[in-house]
Amino acid sequence: MSEGGGTKHAIAVIGAGLSGLSAADLLCRNIPPSQRSILVLEARDRVGGRTLSVPLPDGSGSASVVDLGAAWIWPSENPEMDRILRALDIARISEGDGAFRVEGGAQSICNRLVESLARSEGVSIRLGCAATSVSKSPEGKSSSVVRVEYRESSGRKEIAEVDAVFVACPPRLVLERISFQPQLGGDLLAAMDSCRTWMAQQGKFVASYPSAFWRNRRDRLYWSRPNADGPLDVVFEHGTSLWGFMSHEKRWRSLDASERERAALHQLSAIVGKGAMSPIAVREQDWAQEMETCCVKDVKEPHPWQHPRYANAGVFEGGHWGSSLWFIGSETSRTGTAGFMEGAVVAAQRGVQQYLMVRPPEP
């Protein structure tokens, strides 16, 4: 229903990235169909959050999937990611040194979770719906505990009345985009404000070629600091593609995309030869320009390559507003994996487990 009315759902999940979808999946697995009504809201027009896997033409005449966001896992250090891949029957691709990629791209995890949720009763996933406010009704005034207001991509405003809300977005982004009434506690607000969104300032550039011609010159392509000047700070190979992390220097980031593309190809040609100037396809993803990833404060952070120390993660644990409001998302994890895919899954597990302890399903 639109403004003035309201649609009753038992649980709302704000964010359809890896953490939000993992939480929705866990709730479905632990709450009987007759008791659950789960609404997942996602501001983007896609699921996946900071995972983004796109097909690029390759030398075989078909297409290879490249990751423009999160990409790697280390099973020895990421046991929950390893578990979820096995549970979803998604294969891993070895990259050497204990690192693996996800077959079909990291975003395929979220796509597979959506497929599973689509087969479940009592679940609705709404894309292009940005939450704008979350407010708690005074006790005794309403049978519903929390009102979630959200705006559709058309501009239409909607309201969902729910019993509990899981917020699965980067804390700083939440602080900037969503209002809460009553106001959140001072310790929680301070933790959200200081919680850097990992990789929010990063960008990737990918160029696909008919063949991996550079392998005639070396066995493996990887430079932490390319010796040729250009907009790429780190360069890797993947199949018949070359890709790199974009430099944070203003002289490169201030270029328009076409100028930066030419500069990147010239840089690659200086490294592997003139064949780099003739890609089949190129793709750039600048996460700093994604309003659903990078907030104003994140753009201004110094030392973007330095992984933050998430010292206040414990503040996010447990329910807020009684047991009505729960904060998950990778940056809220306190396992040493905050900011990574592992942290997204761990945070979802923690939040759902704690929720079910205080609000167990009816027998």
Q: What percent of the chain has pLDDT over 90?
A: 75
Distance in angstroms (rounded) separating the CA atoms of residues 263 and 255: 10
pLDDT in tens, 289-319: 999 999 999 998 888 888 888 888 889 999 9
Over 70: is that where the pLDDT of 80 sits?
Answer: yes
Pairing of strands 325-327, 53-57: unpaired
DSSP tally for the chain: helices H, then strands E: 9, 17
Structurally, what CATH architecture does the domain formed by 7-50+108-198+304-358 represent? Answer: 3-Layer(bba) Sandwich (3.50)
Q: What is the mean pLDDT of residues 212-226?
A: 67
Lowest mean pLDDT among 74-88, 132-146, 243-257, 316-330: 132-146
Q: For residue 3, what pLDDT is reported?
A: 45
Q: How much is the pTM?
A: 0.93
User: pLDDT band for position 228 (50/70/90)?
Assistant: confident
Q: What is the mean pLDDT of residues 240-255?
A: 91
Distance in angstroms (rounded) separating the CA atoms of residues 244 and 249: 15
Q: For residue 62, what pLDDT is reported?
A: 76
User: pLDDT band for position 239 (50/70/90)?
Assistant: confident
Closest Cα to residue 3, out of 168, 160, 138, 237? 160
Same fold: 7-50+108-198+304-358 with 201-292: no
| Residue ranges covered by each domain of the chain | 7-50+108-198+304-358, 201-292
The CATH number of the structural domain formed by 201-292 is 3.90.660.10
> For the chain, what is the mean pLDDT?
91
